[in-house]
Amino acid sequence: MRNLKLPNNEMNASELSLGCMRISKLTNQEISTLIHTALDEGINFFDHADVYGGGKCEEKFSEALNMNSGLRDRMILQTKVGIRQGSFDFSREHILEAVDGSLKRLRTEYLDVLLLHRPDALVEPEEVAEAFTILETSGKVKYFGVSNQNPMQIELLRKFVKQKILFNQLQLSITNTSMIDAGINVNMQINHSVDRDGSILDYCRLNEITIQPWSPFQYGFFEGVFLDSPKFPELNEKINAIAADKGVTNTAIAIAWLLRHPAHMQPILGTTSPQRVKDACKASDITLTREEWYAIYLAAGNKLP
Ligand SMILES: NC(=O)c1ccc[n+]([C@@H]2O[C@H](COP(=O)([O-])OP(=O)(O)OC[C@H]3O[C@@H](n4cnc5c(N)ncnc54)[C@H](OP(=O)(O)O)[C@@H]3O)[C@@H](O)[C@H]2O)c1
């Protein structure tokens, strides 16, 4: 497993992360096997959110692993706050309260990374700044980032927040490429030309913010997995041919496609299958050629101008 070039910090992060959004349905034994498989494969970065499973994902994670300082030291734990029932909430009070809840459920004294989960329309960046400083000085959080935010939202935070924004977690897979499409089709009279996110991809590169692609195997908004789906025959044919050529699975190719982008992204795997974790980690051993990357992009139904 290659390590990631993460600017502006001392984290020794793996280039793949394991997301824990779907683990609440697993038994403790299954969770333990999943996480230890990831660790054995070189993944040291685990993504949570206070809302996953209504808190159960964080809770079961630490319970299943019987969290202890030895194990904790081998992990980079990231969680997200700001989603509540029926609203988003980036208030100082909520951020602080939510972090305390996550620390308790994860059975740890500190979070390596805290992300703001989804933009709060009523955000007051001065309050976020206060919360971040309290969390940093108390030692509860080491590093900070955001999720699903566009450049101007990040700029607004950066005007007030002292800490660096290191991450932006965004939906990105071979079948969800609007942030790439808009850069390829500048100023064209077609749908692919629409810049839906304020050029977030280039903004993150310019500002050394690591993009963490979420739902790397899904099409639509949690509509299903594109791999082996009859909805994407041409894409699967291309992915399978490249997989056969490189001696890996289609799972590895889906992740290798994200890793090939020079933005140095850190995909978040959402699988609960230890075998798929192993398959995905093989992506770290290969590098797609420029021709293979574009061939997969085109097979997903995209066109070059
Ligand atoms: N910031 C945000 O707003 C946001 C939003 C969503 C997710 N996330 C984060 O991103 C992580 C990943 O998201 P995700 O779980 O949606 O991503 P994903 O990895 O694209 O999807 C995982 C799901 O797809 C299934 N799957 C994957 N590959 C498969 C294959 N080859 N064949 C059949 N099924 C397959 C998995 O089933 P198995 O478990 O059986 O493998 C699992 O149900 C989450 O855990 C969370 O940490 C963040």
Res 10: pLDDT: 82
CA 5/CA 208 separation, integer angstroms: 10
Residue of the nearest CA to atom 45 in ligand 1?
19
Strands 218-219 and 224-225: antiparallel
Res 174: pLDDT: 98
Query: Residue 20 Cα, ligand 1 centroid: separation in angstroms?
Result: 9
Question: What strands, in cross-sheet order, belong to the sheet with 165-171?
Answer: 210-214, 165-171, 141-147, 111-116, 76-81, 45-47, 17-19, 268-269
**In DSSP terms, which residues pair with 212 in a beta bridge?**
169
Res 100: pLDDT: 98
How is residue 176 annotated by DSSP?
B
Res 158: pLDDT: 98
CA 15/CA 223 separation, integer angstroms: 26
For residue 187, give the amino acid letter.
N
Pocket probe for ligand 1: among 43, 268, 278, the residue whose CB has the most ligand atoms within 8 Å is: 268
Nearest to 137 by CA among 103, 158, 163, 115: 163
The answer to whether the CB of 191 falls within 8 A of the CB of 290 is no
pTM: 0.96
Helix, strand and coil in the chain, % to nearest 5: 45, 15, 40
**In DSSP terms, which residues pair with 211 in a beta bridge?**
168
The answer to whether the CB of 29 falls within 8 A of the CB of 63 is no
Question: Cα(first)–Cα(last) distance of the chain, in Å?
Answer: 36
**Angle, CA of 1, 12 and 179, to the nearest 5°:** 75
pLDDT, block means (10 residues), the chain with 305 residues: 82 96 97 97 97 97 92 96 97 98 97 98 98 98 98 98 97 97 94 94 97 97 96 98 98 98 97 98 97 98 95
Ligand 1 atom closest to Cα of residue 117: 1
Q: What are the Cα distances from residue 241, in Å, to 81, 236, 248, 278?
A: 41, 8, 10, 20
Residue of the nearest CA to atom 7 in ligand 1?
214
Res 68: pLDDT: 87
Res 227: pLDDT: 98
Residues in contact with ligand 1 (CB, 6 Å cut-off): 19-22, 47, 147-148, 169, 214-218, 222, 225, 227, 251, 268-273, 276
Ligand 1 atom closest to Cα of residue 48: 47
| Residue 67 φ/ψ, nearest 5 degrees | -50, 130
Pocket probe for ligand 1: among 223, 271, 275, the residue whose CB has the most ligand atoms within 8 Å is: 271
Ligand 1 atom closest to Cα of residue 118: 3
